[in-house]
Structure 1
Amino acid sequence: MRRLQVLLLTLAVLSLSGCGYNTFQTTDEQIKASWAEVLNQYQRRADLIPNIVNTVKGEANFEQETLTKVVEARARATSIQATPELVNNPEAFQKFQAAQNSLSGALSRLLVVSENYPQLKANQGFQELRAQLEGTENRITVARNRYIKAVQEYNVAVRSFPTNLTAMVFGYSVKPSFTVADEKELATPPKVDFGGPAKKPEAAR
């Protein structure tokens, strides 16, 4: 009797392996790890922003609208609870990513505008913060690409036969990923350029 149970258990394990069960286990763990790194890098960026804002505030006549948009975009991005469960909720995932994209745009605008202020360009602290921001944006891109790869492998298994049968049995469903528009948003991270001729800020109207 015991030998029969062992045989049946062995056959069940082999059957699950052949139907992609192990693939789901592996890719699901890869998704969790890569998503955790994405969140880690987004948090790193959010932590840099208050120092950048405070440094820019010290520059006379800096465009307040640009600064305000960065502050507001950071507030929106950090107001969304970044949890591992986001990858299982397409709607929440897209909302979270839209907020992060908005922050990316606001930061890019701030760095472009800062080029018009020679004192900021000569500020060693500001230079270091910009370099840290660029490095963080690059790490965000790498982390996102790893997440995309893991989700792609997982989603292919969910949709393909016969692994889709295993997915239905165990409740595995397609997970959301970053869109082409998202990737274009990060295709050119904020550029750190402390050289070149400095432009004078426009006179206040």
Structure 2
Amino acid sequence: MNAFTKKPGRRDAQKDATRARILETARDHFERHGFEAASVRAIAADAGVAAGTVLLHFEDKRALLHAALFDDLAATAAEAARDEAPGTLEERLHRLASAFFGYYARRPALSKTLLRESLFADPPWQARFAEQVGAAHGRVVALFDAARARGEVAEGADAALFGVAFFSFYYFALIAWVQGAHPAPVALVDRLVAQHLCGLRPADHPGRSR
């Protein structure tokens, strides 16, 4: 191997590093200037690349926005999945919701723009976001199954249906937060989950609704 031969994988690593730098710069621009005011040219300049390089990685400014949300949610979900601390179903769901709302709170302006745009994402982002939701739903189902094995919920309770209910609560709180209608979305999710679980407890559980 001569001095001018690149090691295997080096080109891919450089490409990934450039992509990550562009995305981080885009996040900063979207947060400070808003989606409409941010420009690909300015993002490229601050990332230290040509505008054409940005467009090689991302089709347009909206694709940059979707990629930023997708990557951030993927990282947040991966971190949440590593949570193996003990706790009741309600406690673990609280930590799960807190992980995502914590991300939104760190970049509030960007998150609100990202969330509005992602609700109407075009392919392929539509399918990618759906996959993320499906994986998160699977996580909730697993937590519910574990709680059922511990006797926290009734044997006949439907885990998949509970997962759907949890996400309905989560999205309701998320929309309320985006609209500025509720300042404490995690607390709202907690209350909705607690009320829903009252009807799913075993007959002898102290939290069973009468």
| TM-score of the pair, normalised by structure 2 | 0.29
Q: Which has the higher contact order (CA 8 A, sep 6+)?
A: 1
- Taking structure 1 as the reference length, the TM-score comes to 0.30
Bigger CA radius of gyration: 1
